[in-house]
């Protein structure tokens, strides 16, 4: 999927994927990661998600990666914070107290640029990528994070009925990407209210990925 697709979405404010509150599955299951306050949580392809202020308000530090500069400008405006902006490698680094967001292609984000993290929260990244990019993404993510534990949320539905994104990620595919790296725990599957985009039945599947 070309970067221009997402730049166009943000430029035209076509962001129905943006939720108006923190994700209820995050609120319900974040504790499963067993993170002490002050831990640093990485959100790949984060957009301006309201999951970020929730994490910060609950005492966690946030790192994120996002392609769209518009999204991150809106994120910081929503936080009421003026970021410090610098160039690091091929990424723009937006930083303030308890938050570091790297703007650009996530494949240009290295472990050195990202810095140490304690966990990954992936609600919007794996499902945003087409099949041909997902294996590259999962390998890159585990590499730059030193295989940090993950809370992973995926959609599952009949891909023949609705074109992604978000794309359908089967439980089998999750295992194909991650079973050789993590111990996988399937936590919950719930119906998406009204279906995906109001067009077809869908489920949200929640996984805990740990390497201990």
Q: How far apart are CA 191 and CA 174, in angstroms?
A: 18
Query: Does residue 88 contact residue 113 with C-beta atoms inside 8 Å?
Result: yes
* pLDDT for 164 beyond 90: no
- For the record, the structure tokens of 64 come out as 């994120």
Q: Is the dihedral of CA 199, 202, 206, 207 positive or negative?
A: negative
Q: Percent of the chain having pLDDT more than 70? A: 91
* pLDDT for 78 beyond 80: yes
Over the chain, what is the mean pLDDT? 92
Domains of the chain and CATH, by start: 3-210 (3.40.50.150)
CA gyration radius, the chain: 16
> Residues 82-114: pLDDT tens digits?
999 999 999 999 999 999 999 999 999 999 999
CB burial class (10 A; 0-12, 13-18, 19+) of residue 97?
Answer: exposed
Q: How many Cα atoms within 13 Å fall on the side-chain side of residue 16?
A: 6
Q: How far apart are CA 26 and CA 148, in angstroms?
A: 17
The more confidently predicted of residues 3 and 130 is: 130
Q: What is the pLDDT of residue 21?
A: 86
Q: How far apart are CA 46 and CA 27, in angstroms?
A: 16
Q: What is the mean pLDDT of residues 62-76?
A: 96
Query: Given the structure tokens 């304690």, which residue do they identify?
Result: 118
* pLDDT for 173 beyond 90: yes
- Quickly state the pLDDT bin for 3 (edges 50, 70, 90): low
- Quickly state the pLDDT bin for 6 (edges 50, 70, 90): very low
Query: Given the structure tokens 């997402």, which residue do they identify?
Result: 6
Reduce the DSSP state of residue 37 to 3 states and report it. coil
């Amino acid at each position: 999927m070309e970067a221009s697709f997402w730049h166009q979405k943000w430029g035209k404010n076509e962001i129905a994927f943006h939720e108006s509150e923190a994700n209820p599955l995050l609120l319900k299951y974040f504790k499963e990661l067993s993170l002490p306050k002050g831990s640093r949580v990485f959100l790949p392809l984060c957009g301006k998600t309201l999951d970020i202020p929730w994490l910060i308000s609950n005492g966690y530090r946030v790192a994120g990666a996002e392609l769209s500069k518009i999204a991150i400008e809106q994120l910081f405006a929503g936080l009421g914070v003026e970021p410090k902006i610098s160039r690091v490698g091929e990424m723009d680094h937006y930083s303030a107290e308890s938050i570091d967001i790297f703007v650009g292609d996530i494949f240009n984000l290295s472990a050195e640029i990202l810095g140490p993290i304690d966990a990954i929260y992936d609600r919007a990244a794996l499902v945003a990528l087409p099949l041909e990019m997902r294996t590259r993404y999962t390998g890159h993510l585990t590499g730059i994070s030193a295989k940090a534990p993950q809370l992973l949320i995926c959609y599952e539905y009949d891909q023949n009925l609705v074109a992604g994104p978000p794309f359908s990620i089967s439980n089998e595919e999750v295992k194909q990407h991650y079973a050789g790296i993590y111990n996988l725990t399937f936590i919950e599957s719930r119906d998406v209210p009204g279906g995906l985009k109001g067009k077809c039945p869908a489920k949200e599947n929640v996984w805990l990925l740990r390497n201990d």
